[in-house]
Amino acid sequence: MPPPYTGVMTEIISQQFNQDLSRHLALFATKADDTFFLDTLVSDTAFTDCVVRALTTFGAGTGVTRLVNPADASKLVFVVVRDEKTTTREAFGELARAACGVDTLVVASQVTDVADAVEGGLLGAYVFDEYKEPKKAPLGALVLPVDDDAAVTRGEILAEATNRVRDLVNLAPNELYPEVLAQIAQDEASAAGCSVRIYREEELEEINAAGIIHVGRGSKNLPRLVRIEWAPEGAQGDTIALVGKGITFDTGGYSLKPSTAMTEMKTDMGGAATVLQTIVAAARLGVQRKVVGWLCIAENMVSGIAGHPDDVITYRNGVSVEINNTDAEGRLVMADGLLMASAEGSETIIDIATLTGAQMVALGERTTGIMGSDYAKELTELAAGVGEPAWHMPLPEHLRESLDSDVADMKNSGSRFGGMLVAGLFLKEFVSAPNWAHVDIAGPSFNRGKPYGVMPKGATGVMVRTLLAAVEN
């Protein structure tokens, strides 16, 4: 088993600003018409006047502008020009990315939203370098003029959780297969103070994890179900369960994907990674609520013992499912996790998965789809509150008919029109909880374009903040 990859994080230093200007500095500014206004702790007006003149000369727009430091030509000044839409998190993300290759960057502007600034800086500085040396090293250290250790710690924990999701999703599938992902979950959750149980072959049979067994049967890398529990002494409120899809690679099975659609299928375990790191973050933050996570892990491969279209499986609740599409495997494994969470009596269940291409057709590559009971609306609002784009989607009853089967209680794939919603309706059959939300991150989990805001190219770690907000709410 290969050792787990852990990327290098930018160091955050809290330190009162001094007037030594012969350093790499960062300033924040706004622009009205053609006039720039600096938010600065620098008292040297000659220095600030020079910065403003340079911004004016270059006609700087919204974003980060790099200037030669007027006090020391061997150093740089990074000016972040913000508009009314730019959040603190996004501004610091852009800043940290622009400052790659810099050893130490000193912020010379006031910082109010400290946790967001720390989180944004660490997310923006993220680089995945397991297989390739980056052209420039990530920012070494970010010095903030703040005195709020609690806020700094919170920002660091949130960023570390998100960046760890990115690490796991970016890893190659020949290194991150079911056994490895399950072991990483056990190691990292245990280290955070959680209890962990891994269901292997015999245990999966004992609990009749029909979907996980069937999807994983075609691979030499056998499937796993991982239960993680954070149960602090004196926990308050109801238990919340998080269920994550963990398909470490998805060929589509005998409903084989085209070659062009099979690349990037290492990312199909993003939901499980998100659940894992959300619970680790909750434990590190000492959240006073019981949280249970279910990681539904398998590898969907083609072989002489793989499942076929037309197979019928029966779940632990007695529901039989005809498999008419082996590439709709995510919902099959998620059903097992939802049944286990429901059996334990969790009042709130959130499942998260890179589930459908239809999510991207409906909402694009940056907006997460959320559906379920009335609670799904609340979760959508929580997402907006922590700066993660999401949209509440319906579960129209008439689409359920497309899942009807002639030989079983239901099929695993139905109408291609509203495919994201049909997948949600399938999962609904396995949920027994007053509060339930299904979160489809197929597009937002992986950025195929240029970096933006706090998002790098590649794995994004989307929805960690939202799930943590749900746990804390």
Q: What residues are labeled active site?
A: 257, 331
Q: Decide: 352 and 436 in contact? Cβ < 8 Å.
A: no
Strands 348-353 and 240-250: parallel
Q: Decide: 225 and 296 in contact? Cβ < 8 Å.
A: yes
What size, in residues, is the chain?
473
**What does the alpha-carbon distance between residue 282 and residue 292 come to, in Å, rounded to a whole number?**
11
**What does the alpha-carbon distance between residue 255 and residue 184 come to, in Å, rounded to a whole number?**
30
What is the CB neighbour count within 10 angstroms for residue 407? 9
What is the CB neighbour count within 10 angstroms for residue 8? 12
Strands 11-14 and 76-82: unpaired
Alpha carbon 24 to its chain's center: 31
What is the CB neighbour count within 10 angstroms for residue 397? 8
**What does the alpha-carbon distance between residue 463 and residue 457 come to, in Å, rounded to a whole number?**
16
CA-nearest of 436, 421, 412 to 319 is 412
**What does the alpha-carbon distance between residue 42 and residue 430 come to, in Å, rounded to a whole number?**
60
Strands 224-230 and 195-199: antiparallel
Q: How far is CA 175 from CA 165, 172, 188, 350, in A?
A: 15, 6, 17, 28
- Interacting residues of 197 by C-beta distance below 8 A, sequence separation 6+: 226, 227
* 3-class DSSP string for 121-155: HHHHCCCCCCCCCCCCCCCCEEEECCCCHHHHHHH
CA-nearest of 149, 147, 177, 121 to 2 is 177
Q: What does the DSSP 8-state code read for residue 258?
A: P
Q: List strands edge to edge, sheet with 240-250.
A: 195-199, 224-230, 291-300, 240-250, 348-353, 435-440, 368-372, 390-392
- Interacting residues of 118 by C-beta distance below 8 A, sequence separation 6+: 12, 92, 144, 151, 152, 154, 155, 156, 159
